[in-house]
Homo-oligomer: A and B are copies of this chain.
């Protein structure tokens, strides 16, 4: 089990059979026995099943998950399903308080394993069961907090949690890639405002990862070096788009940024995934990531819709070419204005960015 020395992990089962795991911070006082708080709700297993369908033009799996239409949508704070349970309001978390908690999504894009994986069908109509795993991570029991307002100690606990989930889901037969991410802000469709992230265990290598790693493989074949390492070295040498740099991590706006605000955070050495991070790297990550998020949020009005995602090596394929890094981006292009993906981006995949990466990097350095 991957976990730091200062985190205690306790797994329990919700009333419909889903798994819930507490990650408690050790050292601040007496710890609760997490097995004592029992889910009082009479939930029946949702039996959610999703289906993957092959897009023969783009060689991609598209997942159809009709049951997600009924998922909880922006409930008022007093009905938040991610807050701790209290008398008269039983939530997804049976305990009355928590540090960080992970649970299986009741409305998952990918559900657990069936007997046969497929693909089934013929001609252009290939389909397969949507196997895999979708988890929710609550970063804090404080409903009104944000990731950027967490303490470095708490971010350190979240890093342990991400590493633990990556290691554990990587061990599932159905999972080919583990993606830890946070969607933040109603503007990008977040349906629950309580600070939380997600972990997807995909049953395939995702299209953008596969494409990037094919490029990295071709580059290594031709040049003999890792593409990500060379990009990091070039950004460090130029310095024009670097925002912050520590002993182990460097954050920069990429040269070919797709989004008006986009920051990539690279480790200074090539590792495949979060479990491979050493202690000092995890410690500095907590500080540097908070610094980056707070700079990004300060650019407009101290709120920012953003998507933050860890790019990790797939579980089986391409591992030797992958290079762990974080990509954070926002669709906000000006106060009150978003960069929407319209015809050029959505239909043709041709991105037009209205903001100069160098100007954004300068603003983020000064922030």
User: Which residues does A use to contact B, with CB under 8 Å?
Assistant: 50, 53-66, 68-69, 73, 109, 123-125, 179, 181-183, 187-190, 198, 200, 202, 206-209, 211-212, 215-216, 219, 227, 230-231, 234, 238, 254-258, 307-309, 311, 327, 329, 333-334, 337-344, 346-357, 359
Q: Which residues from B are CB-within-8-Å of A346?
A: 307, 329
Q: In this complex, what residue of B is CB-closest to A228?
A: B57
State whether A255 touches B53 (Cβ < 8 A).
yes
Other than A53-B256, A207-B349, give 15 A-B pairs with Cβ distance below 8 A.
A53-B255, A58-B211, A59-B215, A62-B352, A63-B351, A64-B353, A64-B355, A65-B352, A66-B359, A68-B352, A181-B344, A208-B347, A209-B348, A307-B343, A307-B346
User: Mostly helix, strand, loop or mixed at chain A's interface?
Assistant: mixed
Given A353-B62, A354-B68, residue A57 in contact with residue B212 (CB < 8 A): yes
State whether B124 touches A255 (Cβ < 8 A).
yes
Docked CA distance A351–B60 (Å): 9
State whether B58 touches A355 (Cβ < 8 A).
no
Docked CA distance A338–B69 (Å): 11
Docked CA distance A343–B178 (Å): 13
State whether A347 touches B359 (Cβ < 8 A).
no
Q: Which residues from B are CB-within-8-Å of A58?
A: 208, 211-212, 215
